[in-house]
Structure 1
Amino acid sequence: MTPHFTDRENDLSALADLHGRFPELSTPLIVVSGPAGIGKTTLVSRWLRGMTGSFPDGQLYADLRGHSETGPADPGDVMGQFLRALGVGQVPHGLDERAALWRSVTDGLHVSIMLDNVLSAAQARSLLPGGRHCLVVVTSRYRLTGLRADGALYHELGLLEEDAAVEILSRGIGAERVRREGSAVYQIVALCAGLPLAVCLASARLASRPRQPVRTMAEALAQDRGRLAALAVEGELSVYAALDESYAVLTPEAARLYRCLALLPARHLDSRLAAVALDVSLGEAERLLDVLVEANLLEDTGPDAYRFHDLVRLHAEERGRAEESPTAQEETSRRVGDWHLHTASAAQTLLSPIQFTLGREYAHEPTVTCPFADESGALAWLEARRADLMATVRTADEKRWDKLAWQLVDALWPLFHRLRHYDLWIEAHEIGRRAARRDGDRTAERQMLNSGAIGLNAAGRTDDAIDWFSQSLRAAREAGDVRDEGQALLGIGAAHREAGRFQEAADHLHRAISAWQDARYGRGVALARIILGEIALEEAQAERSGGANGPAERAAELFAQAHEALVALNDPYDAARALAFSGRASALTGTYDTAAERLGEALRFFASAGSAHWQARVSEMLGACAHEHSLPGTAREHWERARSLYASQSPSDARRVGDLLAGLSGASRPVDPADPREERPTDPSES
Structure 2
Amino acid sequence: MPIPESGRAAALLSAMVARGTERGSPAWRELGEVVRTAAGQDPSVARLWSPPDAQPDAATARSLQDLARLATTLAASAGADARTASTVDGWLRRYAPGPDRPEHTNSIGGAAVLHGPSVQARDIHGSVHVHQRSGPEKPRPPVPRQLPPQRRPLVARESDVRALDRLRSGHPAESPQLLVVSGFAGVGKTTLVSHWLHELASSFPDGQLYADLGGRSAATEDGGGPVRASAVLEGFLFALGAHSVPADTAQRVALWRSLTSRLRLAVLLDDAYTSAQVRPLLLGSPAGITVVTSRNHLTGLLVDGASVHRLGTLAPESAVELLAAGGGGQRVAQDPETAREVVTLCGCLPLAVCLASAQLAARPHHTLSALARSLSRGQGPLDALRVEGEAVVRTALDLSYRLLPAGSAALYRRMGLLPADRFDLSLLTAISGDVTPGRTDGPPGSPHEGRPASPDGPGDPDGSGDADLAVGALLEANLLEETGPGTYRFHDLVRPHARSLGETRESPAQREGTLRRFVDWCLATATAAESILTPGHRMAARDSAVPDVAPAALETPAEALAWLDTHRTILLGAVQHSARAGWHTACWQLTDAAWPLFVRLRPRELWIEMHRTGLAAARSDGSREGEGRMLTSGAIGLRDAGRYPEAADWYARALEHATADGDVRQQAQAINGLGHISLLTHQYDEARTHFEQALRLRESAGYARGAALSRRRLGETALAAGDHGTAARYLTDAFTQLESQGEGYEAARALALLGRALACGGDHEGGTRRLREALETFRSSDVRSEHWEGYSLEWLGEAAARQDDPAEAVRRYEAARNLFLRVSPADAQRMDDRLRHV
Tell me the SS of whatever aligns to 1:635: helix
Is 1:91 paired with 2:245? yes
Is 1:621 paired with 2:795? yes
Residue aligning to 1:161? 315
Residue aligning to 1:201? 355
Residue aligning to 1:323? 505
Q: Please, which of 571, 581, 596 is the counterpart of residue 743 of structure 2?
A: 571
Structure 1 segments unaligned to the other structure (5+ residues): 541-550, 665-687
Q: Please, which of 526, 534, 538 is the counterpart of residue 716 of structure 2?
A: 534
Is 1:426 paired with 2:608? yes
Code of the residue aligned with 1:475 in structure 2: it is H
Residue aligning to 2:707? 525
Q: Are the equivalent residues in 2 in contact too, given 1:75–1:127 (CA < 8 A)?
A: yes
Counterparts of 1:667-678 in structure 2, within 5 Å, are none
Tell me the SS of whatever aligns to 1:67: helix
Q: Are the equivalent residues in 1 in contact too, given 2:407–2:465 (CA < 8 A)?
A: no
Q: Which whole-Å deviations, capped at 9, do the CAs of 1:262-306 have from their partners, x for residues lacking one?
A: 221111222112111213799922222221111111112222222
Tell me the SS of whatever aligns to 1:6: coil
Residue aligning to 1:581? 753
Q: Which whole-Å deviations, capped at 9, do the CAs of 1:544-593 have from their partners, x for residues lacking one?
A: xxxxxxx2222222222323333343333322222222222222332211
Q: Are the equivalent residues in 2 in contact too, given 1:358–1:410 (CA < 8 A)?
A: no
Counterparts of 1:657-668 in structure 2, within 5 Å, are 657-664=831-838
By how many angstroms is 1:140 displaced?
Answer: 0.5
Tell me the SS of whatever aligns to 1:260: helix
Q: Distance in 1 between matches of 2:170 and 2:778?
A: 50
Q: Distance in 1 between matches of 2:500 and 2:338?
A: 26
Residue aligning to 1:470? 652
Deviates further, 562-571 or 28-37: 562-571
Residue aligning to 1:637? 811
Residue aligning to 2:274? 120
Q: Distance in 2 between matches of 1:511 and 1:193?
A: 57
Q: Please, which of 150, 175, 191 is the counterpart of residue 42 of structure 1?
A: 191
Q: Distance in 2 between matches of 1:5 and 1:362?
A: 61
Q: Distance in 1 between matches of 2:561 and 2:336?
A: 42
Compared CA separation, residues 367 and 237, structure 1 to 2 (3 A)? closer
Counterparts of 1:437-516 in structure 2, within 5 Å, are 437-516=619-698
Q: Please, which of 375, 392, 403 is the counterpart of residue 249 of structure 1?
A: 403
By how many angstroms is 1:236 displaced?
Answer: 6.3
Is 1:12 paired with 2:158? no
Compared CA separation, residues 50 and 515, structure 1 to 2 (3 A)? closer
Q: Are the equivalent residues in 2 in contact too, given 1:4–1:200 (CA < 8 A)?
A: no
Q: Please, which of 255, 261, 276 is the counterpart of residue 101 of structure 1?
A: 255
Q: Distance in 2 between matches of 1:443 and 1:21?
A: 67
Is 1:145 paired with 2:299? yes
Compared CA separation, residues 410 and 25, structure 1 to 2 (3 A)? same
Compared CA separation, residues 623 and 161, structure 1 to 2 (3 A)? closer
Q: Distance in 2 between matches of 1:170 and 1:404?
A: 49
Deviates further, 312-321 or 5-14: 5-14
Code of the residue aligned with 2:700 in structure 1: it is D
Code of the residue aligned with 1:349 in structure 2: it is S
Q: Distance in 1 between matches of 2:328 and 2:626?
A: 61
TM-score, with length taken from structure 2: 0.75
Q: Which whole-Å deviations, capped at 9, do the CAs of 1:79-116 have from their partners, x for residues lacking one?
A: 11211222223222222222222222222223221111
Tell me the SS of whatever aligns to 1:23: coil
Is 1:378 paired with 2:560? yes
Q: Are the equivalent residues in 2 in contact too, given 1:354–1:570 (CA < 8 A)?
A: no
Deviates further, 473-482 or 79-88: 79-88
Q: Are the equivalent residues in 2 in contact too, given 1:184–1:215 (CA < 8 A)?
A: yes
Q: Distance in 1 between matches of 2:747 and 2:546?
A: 37
By how many angstroms is 1:235 displaced?
Answer: 5.9
Compared CA separation, residues 534 and 98, structure 1 to 2 (3 A)? same
Is 1:648 paired with 2:830? no
Q: Distance in 2 between matches of 1:186 and 1:570?
A: 50
Q: Distance in 2 between matches of 1:184 and 1:626?
A: 49
Q: Please, which of 230, 239, 248 is the counterpart of residue 393 of structure 2?
A: 239
Tell me the SS of whatever aligns to 2:708: helix
Compared CA separation, residues 320 and 447, structure 1 to 2 (3 A)? same
Q: Distance in 1 between matches of 2:712 and 2:356?
A: 62
Q: Distance in 2 between matches of 1:130 and 1:142?
A: 24
Compared CA separation, residues 362 and 272, structure 1 to 2 (3 A)? farther
Greater RCO, 1 or 2 (C-alpha within 8 Å, sep 6+): 1
Q: Distance in 1 between matches of 2:779 and 2:316?
A: 39
Residue aligning to 2:525? 343
Residue aligning to 1:265? 419
Q: Give the aligned length.
A: 654
Compared CA separation, residues 513 and 181, structure 1 to 2 (3 A)? closer
Q: Distance in 1 between matches of 2:390 and 2:152?
A: 17
Is 1:188 paired with 2:342? yes
By how many angstroms is 1:366 displaced?
Answer: 4.4
Q: Which whole-Å deviations, capped at 9, do the CAs of 1:461-496 have from their partners, x for residues lacking one?
A: 221111111111111111111111111111111111
Q: Distance in 1 between matches of 2:319 and 2:738?
A: 59
Tell me the SS of whatever aligns to 1:340: helix
By how many angstroms is 1:137 displaced?
Answer: 0.9
Q: Which whole-Å deviations, capped at 9, do the CAs of 1:341-375 have from their partners, x for residues lacking one?
A: 11111111111122242533788944435332100
Compared CA separation, residues 257 and 87, structure 1 to 2 (3 A)? same
Q: Distance in 2 between matches of 1:71 and 1:207?
A: 35
Instruction: Give 4+ residue runs of structure 1 displaced > 6 Å after superposition.
Output: 280-283, 361-364
Q: Are the equivalent residues in 2 in contact too, given 1:359–1:407 (CA < 8 A)?
A: no
TM-score, with length taken from structure 1: 0.91
Tell me the SS of whatever aligns to 1:139: strand
Is 1:297 paired with 2:504? no
By how many angstroms is 1:628 displaced?
Answer: 2.2
Q: Distance in 1 between matches of 2:269 and 2:596?
A: 54
Q: Which whole-Å deviations, capped at 9, do the CAs of 1:124-145 have from their partners, x for residues lacking one?
A: 0011133333221111111111
Compared CA separation, residues 506 and 17, structure 1 to 2 (3 A)? closer
Residue aligning to 2:444? none
Residue aligning to 2:69? none
Code of the residue aligned with 1:42 in structure 2: it is T
By how many angstroms is 1:406 displaced?
Answer: 0.8
Is 1:171 paired with 2:329? no
By how many angstroms is 1:627 displaced?
Answer: 2.1
Deviates further, 389-398 or 622-631: 622-631
Q: Which whole-Å deviations, capped at 9, do the CAs of 1:41-93 have from their partners, x for residues lacking one?
A: 11112222223333233221111101212211111111112112222232222
Code of the residue aligned with 1:582 in structure 2: it is L
Tell me the SS of whatever aligns to 1:36: coil
Q: Distance in 2 between matches of 1:587 and 1:254?
A: 62
Structure 2 segments unaligned to the other structure (5+ residues): 1-149, 437-463
Q: Distance in 1 between matches of 2:724 and 2:169?
A: 75
Superposition CA RMSD, Å: 2.2
Q: Please, which of 532, 552, 555 is the counterpart of residue 724 of structure 2?
A: 552
Q: Which whole-Å deviations, capped at 9, do the CAs of 1:321-351 have from their partners, x for residues lacking one?
A: 2211222122111111111111111111111
Q: Distance in 2 between matches of 1:233 and 1:249?
A: 23
Tell me the SS of whatever aligns to 2:493: helix
The structure having more radius of gyration, on CA atoms, is 2
Counterparts of 1:354-369 in structure 2, within 5 Å, are 354-357=536-539, 359-360=541-542, 365-369=547-551
Q: Distance in 1 between matches of 2:786 and 2:730?
A: 25
Q: Distance in 2 between matches of 1:4 and 1:203?
A: 15
